Chain A
Amino acid sequence: MAEYLIKNGFVFDPVLGIKGDAADIAIKDGKIVETTALSSPKVIDATGKTVMAGGVDVHSHVAGPKVNVGRNFRPEDKLFGYKARSGIERMQGGFSVPTTIRTGYNYARMGYTTVMEAAMPPLYARHTHEEMRDTPILDQGAYPVFGNNWFVLEYLKNHEIENTAAYIAWLLKATKGYAVKVVNPGGTEAWAWGLNCENVHDPVPYFDITPAQIIKGLIEANEYLGLPHSMHMHANNLGNPGNYTTTLDSFKLSEGIKPNSKFGRDQVMHHTHVQFHSYGGDSWANVESKAKEIMAYVNSHDNLTIDMGQVTLDETTTMTADGPFEHHLTELNHLKWANVDVELETGSGVVPYVYSPGIKVCAIQWAIGLELALLANDPMRVFMTTDHPNAGPFIRYPRIMKWLMSQEARDQQFDAFKHKDKVIDATNLAGIDRELSLYEIAQMTRAGPAKALGLAHMYGGLAPGLEADVAIYDFNPNEPCAPDAIETAFGNAEHLFKAGVQVIRDHEIASNGNKRTLWVNAKVNENPQVMRDVKEKFLRYYTVTFNNYEVTGHYLPNPYVIEVDATQ
């Protein structure tokens, strides 16, 4: 493999603690190495430019059944937005739900190299893997959903942590999954009867268990296994005025639980798209930001990480395993609604949504997301996301950077709101003058998410031994610039290396890379009871046979297995 020396760039790297000093980064055999280890490298002059590790997205809906529903049922999302094939670049289409090809390229163009698919319905795992296989460049993993799974509900009703853990280990292997995802625990099962669980104590119909028991039990099972990532949480009551209390109740279920993982993470719960969970008020008329209250809790509890779910003020496509929420949304906006309930496991819904700057609530949502990041004491625990494509398409990350790094940019946006004054009244953002540094951005987009995923040994930094995922941006951090220059530069990486392969050269896609699929193989003690339960459920209630369930072989042409030993 070619050697590269990226010379004299302004480096921002939380792992090495470099805060914009000029430094050289060396690449050899796919890894970052000491500069002395190179013999005859290709030299890239990064003088006057910004150098960072490849971005890591902890939560994005980019592959799998509901994403493809979003594509296939929104031809209008692709109208006039296509890019023709040229050279090694294949054809690309779609705005809020891009094709897999465009997903890979557009992440790369922003300097991102690792993207985790946030919700994989286990029965559809093959589909998710097929899409990830056809997403170029990026390393990816997918989180199977557990929070409404019948096995989990039945085991945790009696607090059977060991059985839950054995089942998780089996399902991760069967689906080639990466982490334990929980979406509206109990609520999606309730939705199979047209109902919901609106708070952590709202019992799940028939199963005689509460969301609180599911949440706590899954955290404990996750730590029993010592998985790389923590339990990954989407709480009940998403998107409703006054829901911040449910969010705090959910956070509190992690109290007193310590991480048990050799992968270096400090949290036991990652709560995703917290913007959607930080609403005060009791109706859309008086909804207000509770980001302060939420961040006061996050800032004082080290065993918790969150991501933003930043609203970008675009027309987009919402999609979530939170089935009842999507039904609620389509009742509000009357736009087309797709729903898929998945036997024994989960559900999902998809609805287009227009976040208009002319609508007060949308502007309040915009402010709340930014407040979460700007009120964070520790940027290593608060990550940038749009919950793509729910709050907006991921291609807006550079715009979010702009808003986070520039009060002027935020003021410009405030001025563009139709209900500016009401928005200011309902939020805290206008009173916040913090402007994040590129170092803090690197924490929120690289080192932080990599650590939370248990992947700090591979991604998120530029220390020797890490994967050679390196982005070079045409941006001089030491020169004054208009806010829009931030968006332009970080949306259009000049060079990008993925595992040592130059995938972008002079702003153009230069290689389709060697994408890998990460999954976690957790070994547990043999558990005949769980295997008996699994086989019985397949025989009686599933519509595919046990032998046709596991994802194998060519669905993961380039797998990267993370081994966990949880045998005792």
Chain B
Amino acid sequence: METVTLTIKNQPGLYLEADTITPDAFAGKKAEEIAGLPVYVGRDEHKLGEFFEISGKAGATAAETKIVVKGDLSRVKYIGMKMTAGEIVVDGNADMYVGAWMQGGKITVNGNVDAFAGTGMKGGELIIKGNAGNYLGAAYRGDWRGMSGGKITVAGNAGSDLGTFMTGGEIVVGGDVDVHVATHAEGGKIVIKGNAKSRLGGQMVEGEIYVFGNIDVMMPGFAYREDVDIEVDGTKGRFALYEGDLGERHRKRKGQTIYAKLYQQIRA
């Protein structure tokens, strides 16, 4: 695997749209060629090299390419968008749409990301060491196909609208989450190790939510069923199982209605 290192040298006046920072766009290119890739500030087209110091070179394919991005990237959008393979390490905070529509490969952000990270994600791995913004692993506006595969791990907290319209894949949040989790989800698994506020599983058709901490307000459409002993992301424990959303439509399998499941850890 070859490594390309980008170090931000000029901050954009507004925001930098850099959907070319992907192993797919870099593959087969030398540093000079990578420097020539287009990026945008408002309506103006620029070259990547105007904002980044670029060293190293890419591998022949995306899978053989690793990108390390350094510096304050809190005004850089779209890092890793639509990537299919390879690896990106972001050494700092990044702005919106990190790993949006990604299909494969791995992104590690050693900082925070803003909203819409992992939008419509299909595969691969997105690891956020800091906090994530709103709409993590959610669907793009209007789409009924949200995150369908891959795994997102957040060490810190996540914002509102986590996993909206999720159909598959897994999201693990180490800290707390804001309102609306797995709204409209039809599959997938969300693990919240900290506390949740309200609107968990609203309009949820299918899928699983696990909460280790408190839930401020439970949806009226979730009904307590039983206590179960299970292991979740390496933690064994007793959980209260709720099913819902009782107001929503559900499929039937072998005559049984399939509900979404919400597990809350029971703490002594």
Q: Do A and B contact each other directly (Cβ–Cβ < 8 Å)? A: yes
Interface residues of A (CB under 8 A from B): 73-77, 79, 334-336
Interface pair A75/B142, CB less than 8 Å apart: yes
B161, chain A: closest CB distance, angstroms: 16
Residue of B nearest to A333 (CB): B144
Is A76 within 8 A of B141, CB to CB?
Answer: yes
The reply to whether A75 and B140 contact each other, CB–CB distance below 8 Å, is yes
A74 touches B249 (CB 8 A): no
B233 at the interface (CB under 8 A from A): no
* Residues in chain A near residue B140, CB distance under 8 A: 75-76, 79
Q: Which of B142, B144, B249 has the most CB of A within 10 A?
A: B142
The reply to whether B141 and A75 contact each other, CB–CB distance below 8 Å, is: yes
* Alpha-carbon distance A378/B140, docked complex (angstroms): 47
Closest CB-CB distance, B143 to chain A, in whole Å? 4
Q: Which of B123-175 contact A (CB under 8 A)?
A: 140-144
Chain B residues positioned under 8 Å from A336 (CB to CB): 142, 144
Chain A's closest residue to B143 (CB) is A76
Quick one: closest B residue to A331, CB to CB? B249
Residues of B within 8 A of A (CB): 140-144, 249
The answer on a CB contact under 8 Å between B142 and A73 is yes
Partner of A335, one of B141, B144, B249: B144
Given contacts A75-B140, A334-B249, could you give 15 more A-B pairs where the C-beta distance is less than 8 Å? A73-B142, A74-B142, A75-B141, A75-B142, A75-B143, A76-B140, A76-B141, A76-B142, A76-B143, A77-B142, A79-B140, A79-B143, A335-B144, A336-B142, A336-B144
Q: A155 to B143: give the CA distance in the assembly, Å.
A: 45
Min CB–CB distance A55 → chain B (angstroms): 31
CA distance A5 to B206 in the complex (A): 65
Minimum distance in angstroms from A174 CB to a CB of chain B: 35
Measured CA separation A71–B15 after assembly (Å): 28
CA distance A334 to B249 in the complex (A): 9
Closest to A352 in B: B144
Least CB distance, A90 to chain B, in whole angstroms: 15
Complex formed: what's the CA distance from A76 to B165 in Å? 13
Chain B residues near A334 (CB-CB < 8 A): 249
Of A74, A76, A334, chain B has the most CB atoms within 10 Å of the CB of A76
Chain B residues with Cβ below 8 Å from A77 are 142
A334 to B143, CA, bound (A): 13
Residue numbers in A under 8 Å from B142 (CB-CB) = 73-77, 336
Which 10 A-B pairs give the minimum distances between C-beta atoms? A76-B143, A75-B142, A76-B142, A75-B141, A74-B142, A76-B140, A79-B140, A335-B144, A334-B249, A73-B142
The smallest C-beta distance from B144 to any residue of chain A, in angstroms, reads 6
Question: Complex Cα distance A481/B140, Å?
Answer: 41
Shortest CB distance B251–A (Å): 10
Residues of B within 8 A of A75 (CB): 140-143
Distance in Å: Cβ of B58 to nearest Cβ of chain A: 23
Distance in angstroms between the alpha carbons of A335 and B142 in the assembled complex: 10
Contacts of B143 in A (CB 8 A): 75-76, 79
Q: For the complex, give the distance between the alpha carbons of A75 and B144 in Å.
A: 11
Question: CA–CA, A73 to B141, complex, Å?
Answer: 9
C-alpha gap A76/B142 in the complex (Å): 6
Shortest beta-carbon distance, B225 to chain A, in Å? 25
Give Cα distance in the complex from A70 to B144, angstroms. 15
Question: Which A residue's beta carbon lies closest to that of B249?
Answer: A334
In the assembled complex, 17 residue pairs joining A and B whose CB atoms fall closer than 8 Å, in A order, are A73-B142, A74-B142, A75-B140, A75-B141, A75-B142, A75-B143, A76-B140, A76-B141, A76-B142, A76-B143, A77-B142, A79-B140, A79-B143, A334-B249, A335-B144, A336-B142, A336-B144
Give complex CA distance A334, B144 in Å: 10
Cα A334 to Cα B203 with chains together (Å): 13
A150 to chain B: closest CB distance in Å?
35
* Distance in Å: Cβ of B159 to nearest Cβ of chain A: 21
Give the residues in chain B near A76, CB-CB below 8 Å: 140-143
A74 to B140, CA, bound (A): 10
What is the chain A residue whose CB lies nearest that of B82?
A80
Bound-complex Cα distance A76 to B249 (A): 23
Report A-chain residues with C-beta under 8 Å of the C-beta of B141: 75-76
Give the Cβ gap from A71 to chain B, nearest Cβ, in Å: 11
Min CB distance, B167 to chain A, in Å? 13
Return A82 CB to nearest CB of chain B, in Å. 14
Shortest C-beta distance, B165 to chain A (Å), equals: 10
Which B residues touch A335, using CB under 8 A?
144
C-alpha gap A74/B141 in the complex (Å):
8
Chain A nearest CB, measured from B120 CB (Å): 9
Complex CA gap A334/B141 in Å reads 17
In the bound complex, how far is the Cα of B142 from the Cα of A77, in angstroms? 9
Q: In the complex, which residues of chain B have a beta carbon less than 8 angstroms from the beta carbon of A73?
A: 142
Instruction: Find the A residue at minimum CB distance from B251.
Output: A334
Taking the nearest CB of chain A, how far is it from the CB of B97, in angstroms? 12
Chain A: CB-nearest residue to B205: A334
Chain B min CB distance to A418 (Å):
20
In the assembled complex, how far is the CB of residue B138 from the closest CB belonging to chain A, in whole angstroms? 13
